[in-house]
Amino acid sequence: MVPLRLPAALLVFSLCALRASGSYPRAQNVTWKSTNFKTVLSWEPKPSSDYSYTVEFSVVGRDTQRNHHCIQTSKTMCDLTAGLTELNAVYTADVLSEPPLGSTSDLTEYPHTTSPRFCPYTDTDIGRPEFKLKVSEDKKKTTLYVSDPLTALFKDGRQLTIRDIFTDQLMYKVTYRRNKSTGRKVLTSKSNEIELTDLDRGESYCFNVQAFIPSRSTDKQLGEMSQTQCSDEDDQSIFKVYSIRVIAVVIILILLVVGGIIGVTVFCCKRRKKALKGGREAVPLQAV
């Protein structure tokens, strides 16, 4: 047998020593991902068949809890939504590296990695809202009807909205502009029915809406922006629909057609008069 080179031998020895001691690689990049209070803890890397992960979490300073779906698992994520019941509390989580399911180890304490701190009320991202757009019959007022995004939380069998959670802290920020224009205006409102009366009649405007919670830190105040919706443009001027060049060409063509018709008409009239005059001269005078 060909002897192993020294670096390879050291590597094999290290792996054997690692398994013998019962130690396992620590989780890395432990992060929280939360949108509308659906909160997932994730980490890296995916474990080999030699070890697994267990998640423990708690309100800072209190006893730890476990989610039964996240014990000795080969997954690299754990949905902790149901366990974070105190929305204003600050949580932390540990990802433990343990033996795979069905195996044991002599270790009394397993390697672990601690997550950053997380508070659902202040840290969850807010998803984009949906809204309907209505222009009044006299075209003087445009109203946006905003639907509060649903959360992953339930109370008494009812799914809660972000307004149920944030109550009077919730506002909506409307960004709007004239269609095909880059200039933007901003309006904030505490109501789900947002009226705009400073728009030019007959013009098309485009709108975006996002949740706005001013009591939060600056980087968490605004939710995801909605899809853009534009109002219809009424009473459009021909100068807005077509370019000056197109209008000029059309006018010239119309003038040419009209001029041609007039020219043909004049020519035909002259020929007719000439024919009538020639006919009268050809008829002989009758005797009296």
CA-based max dimension of the chain: 151
Place of tokens 């010239």: 252
Q: What is the pTM of this model?
A: 0.72
Q: State which residues form the domain around 114.
A: 25-123
Last residue of a domain, one of 123, 143, 164: 123
Judgement on whether residues 88 and 56 belong to the same structural domain of the protein: yes
pLDDT of amino acid 165: 98
Answer yes or no: is pLDDT of 2 > 80. no
Cα angle 19-20-21, degrees, rounded to a multiple of 5: 90
Judgement on whether residues 108 and 139 belong to the same structural domain of the protein: no
Max avg pLDDT among 3-17, 77-91, 227-241, 272-286: 77-91
Judgement on whether residues 117 and 144 belong to the same structural domain of the protein: no
Categorize the per-residue pLDDT at 272 as very low, low, confident or very high, splitting at 50, 70 and 90: confident
Q: Would residue 175 count as lying in a domain? A: yes
CA nearest to 130, candidates 228, 233, 232 = 228
Percent of the chain with pLDDT over 90: 64
Tell me the pLDDT tens digit for each residue of 138-177.
888 999 999 999 999 999 999 999 999 999 999 999 999 9
Q: Summarize the confidence of residues 87-112 as an average pLDDT.
A: 91
Yes or no: say if 118 and 220 are a contact pair by the CB < 8 Å rule: no
Q: Would residue 278 count as lying in a domain? A: no
**DSSP conformation letters of 14-68:** HHHHHHHHT--PPPEEEEEEEETTEEEEEEE----TT-EEEEEEEETTS--EE-G
Q: What is the CATH number of the domain that holds 172?
A: 2.60.40.10
Q: Would residue 222 count as lying in a domain? A: yes
Q: Would residue 89 count as lying in a domain? A: yes
Judgement on whether residues 217 and 152 belong to the same structural domain of the protein: yes
- What span, in angstroms and rounded, lies between the C-alpha atoms of 155 and 181? 45
User: Which residue type occupies 237?
Assistant: S
Q: Would residue 82 count as lying in a domain? A: yes
Q: Would residue 55 count as lying in a domain? A: yes
Q: Would residue 249 count as lying in a domain? A: no
| Bridge partners of residue 150, in order along the sequence | 161
pLDDT of amino acid 15: 40
Categorize the per-residue pLDDT at 243 as very low, low, confident or very high, splitting at 50, 70 and 90: low
pLDDT of amino acid 18: 45
Judgement on whether residues 169 and 230 belong to the same structural domain of the protein: yes
- For the chain, the domain total comes to 2
CA nearest to 173, candidates 187, 159, 158 = 187
pLDDT of amino acid 75: 97
Q: Summarize the confidence of residues 192-212 as an average pLDDT.
A: 94
Last residue of a domain, one of 234, 251, 281: 234
Helices and strands, counts by H and E, the chain: 5, 16
Q: Summarize the confidence of residues 262-283 as an average pLDDT.
A: 72
Q: Summarize the confidence of residues 109-120 as an average pLDDT.
A: 96
Q: Summarize the confidence of residues 183-190 as an average pLDDT.
A: 95
pLDDT of amino acid 286: 55
Judgement on whether residues 95 and 141 belong to the same structural domain of the protein: no
Answer yes or no: is pLDDT of 237 > 60. no
Q: Would residue 254 count as lying in a domain? A: no
Answer yes or no: is pLDDT of 53 > 80. yes
Categorize the per-residue pLDDT at 283 as very low, low, confident or very high, splitting at 50, 70 and 90: low
Higher-pLDDT residue of 258 and 12 is: 258
State the average pLDDT for the chain: 86
- What span, in angstroms and rounded, lies between the C-alpha atoms of 87 and 41? 16
Place of tokens 């949906």: 130
Judgement on whether residues 147 and 109 belong to the same structural domain of the protein: no
Last residue of a domain, one of 100, 123, 146: 123
Answer yes or no: is pLDDT of 19 > 70. no
CA nearest to 220, candidates 148, 125, 128, 149 = 125
Q: Summarize the confidence of residues 109-119 as an average pLDDT.
A: 96
Q: Summarize the confidence of residues 225-229 as an average pLDDT.
A: 97
